[in-house]
Chain A
Amino acid sequence: QVTLKESGPGILQPSHTLSLTCSFSGFSLSTYGMGVSWIRQPSGKGLEWLASIWWNGNTYNNPSLKSRLTVSKDTSNNQAFLKVTSVDTADTATYYCAHTRLTTVALDYWGQGVMVTVSS
């Protein structure tokens, strides 16, 4: 049974760095074909794919966030991480992590999401 749960600071100030953790079970990010993606959703708005990290360490970022995104993983502790630098109010959103696999590339299991507010 695949489960994922996001955690983060809740609120942070503009220009700071947002650090999010995705803790998961039911799969390993060291297993061939497994991946974790990050998606965000401003309140009342649509979904935006941010980044993906794969079992082999390959990462893919959405260029709309330029170089502000970093994704990483800790295979031993079944965690994936997202860092967003230089945040501003436009980064206020609910952030989700989701499991994906190479065979389908679908986001087949999602976490409950964590709300992040950027405010001074």
Chain B
Amino acid sequence: DVVLTQTPVSLSVTLGDQASISCRSSQSLEYSDGYTYLEWYLQKPGQSPQLLIYEVSNRFSGVPDRFIGSGSGTDFTLKISRVEPEDLGVYYCFQATHDPLTFGSGTKLEIK
């Protein structure tokens, strides 16, 4: 199975600052069709996860442009510029390139 290693495990950020989360894969996530099926989700406290980014860098509908996904192959990053109070929660990366599909273990973002 593909293992996604997220770092850091937790992150405390001042409002208005930038946050950066890393997701490293045990295998390349580029599929044979040329696409890379790496996604980012945010689970706010007490809520279901919500899609932020798909195919490494595409923001889902309604997601603010403060959320920026990047990377390729096995190394991926989610940057959140100008962190706002509603950004707190647990961030998960997820790969849909290889079966079985797998999630990273999560990064908890707290506001200082």
Give the segment of A13-21, A22-30, A57-65, A74-82 that binds chain B: A57-65
Using A46-B92, A47-B92 as known contacts, say yes or no to A107 and B51 having CB atoms under 8 A apart. Answer: yes
Most buried by A among B94, B101, B102: B101
Alpha-carbon distance A107/B52, docked complex (angstroms):
10
Alpha-carbon distance A96/B39, docked complex (angstroms):
17
* Contact yes or no, A107 B94, CB < 8 A: yes
Determine if B32 is an interface residue (Cβ-Cβ < 8 Å): no
Using A48-B103, A49-B103 as known contacts, say yes or no to A105 and B96 having CB atoms under 8 A apart. Answer: yes
Closest to A94 in B: B48
- List residues of chain B with CB within 8 A of the CB of A106: 37, 39, 51, 54-55, 60, 96
Determine if B64 is an interface residue (Cβ-Cβ < 8 Å): no
Contact of B100 among A46, A49, A107 (CB under 8 A): A49
Of residues 106 through 120 on chain A, the ones whose CB sits less than 8 Å from some CB of chain B are: 106-113
Contact of A110 among B48, B94, B99, B100 (CB under 8 A): B48
Within the complex, the shortest CB–CB distance from B40 to chain A, in Å, comes to 10
Q: Knowing that A49-B103, A107-B51, A107-B94 are A-B contacts, what are 11 other residue pairs whose CB atoms are under 8 Å apart, sorted by A's residue number?
A: A47-B41, A47-B49, A47-B92, A49-B100, A49-B101, A52-B101, A64-B1, A96-B49, A106-B37, A107-B41, A110-B48
